[in-house]
Amino acid sequence: MNRETPESNSESSLLSHLIELRTRLMRGLAGVFVVLLGLLPFTSKLYNWIAEPLIARLPVGQSMIATDPAGGFIAPVKLAFFVALFVSAPWLLYQAWAFVAPGLYQRERRLALPLLASAVTLFYAGCAFAYFLVLPSLFKFVINFTPEVISVTPDASAYLDFVLVIFLAFGASFELPVALVILVLLGWVTPAQLKEARGYALVGIFVLAAVITPPDVVSQLLLAIPMYLLYEAGIIASKWITPRETKESL
């Protein structure tokens, strides 16, 4: 009679987890691929949309250029790929959640779902804030201070890289309340300590904004002010969660 040893059970469990991980990865990539295929016919419209904050503020007769012979093709396709990732983010997070959820306690699941939903929503909000407010203000400021003898003809690929960095910076910065709540839940800080550290946080936020944004006052303020407000929102959210966690632990 064959008996399974603890080692064989461990190997079988590890193998099943690896198979499940591969399945989730394949499903996630398949979702991104499907969205990308749907976006490819609209690459020109997508690029025109992403370029609107700059094109609308260029002097009459000036437009973008492609210094690379294939730049006019690569930039829109690259944008379509990143938009596909952006749109598929909830699907990718769902696959990650479906993989880790069976190993979580019910209380951990109840906390993780709102945090994941908040993280996705705040990242989208940060990108929208960057597109509708930051980029128009930034380009208006830059172009107004550009001497008339300088012709503004940005490269299509360089512009896309710049915009993606801005989106990533603002999207990640808007995750601050979620990060603070997680720190409180881990017990690394308390809401009272976050409240006392407001002054240090304000200085750190302005330093961070100066580092990750272009060297102009407009974009730095447009990042620093929302980040500080989000810091305050993180304190409020952590205060709301802490009493509930304390009650559940009693």
| 136-195 per-position pLDDT tens digit | 988 888 888 877 777 778 888 999 999 999 999 899 999 999 999 988 888 889 899 999
When pLDDT is cut at 50, 70 and 90, the band that residue 249 belongs to is very low
Mean pLDDT of 191-203: 91
101 or 83, which is more confident: 83
User: Which residues touch 84 (CB under 8 Å, ≥6 apart)?
Assistant: 32, 33, 35, 36, 39
Residue 122 is encoded by which pair of tokens? Answer: 């705040």
Lowest mean pLDDT among 62-76, 123-137, 168-182, 226-240: 62-76
Residue 86 is encoded by which pair of tokens? Answer: 């952006």
Q: Which residues pair with 65 in a beta bridge?
A: 155
Lowest mean pLDDT among 49-53, 57-61, 136-140, 241-245: 241-245
What mean pLDDT value characterizes the chain?
85
Statement: residue 205 has pLDDT above 50: yes
Statement: residue 248 has pLDDT above 50: no
What is the pLDDT, as a whole number, of residue 200?
92
Among candidate residues 203, 241, 206, 237, the one with its CA nearest the CA of residue 221: 206
What is the model's pTM? 0.83
Mean pLDDT of 38-55: 93
Mean pLDDT of 123-137: 92
Measured between alpha carbons, how far is 119 from 112 in angstroms, rounded to an integer?
10
Output the CA angle 214-215-219, nearest 5 degrees. 55
What is the pLDDT, as a whole number, of residue 1?
45
Statement: residue 4 has pLDDT above 60: no
SS3 65: strand
When pLDDT is cut at 50, 70 and 90, the band that residue 243 belongs to is low
Q: What is the DSSP letter of 155?
A: B
Distances (CA, A) of 7 to 1, 12, 18, 21, 102: 17, 9, 16, 21, 22
What is the pLDDT, as a whole number, of residue 186?
81
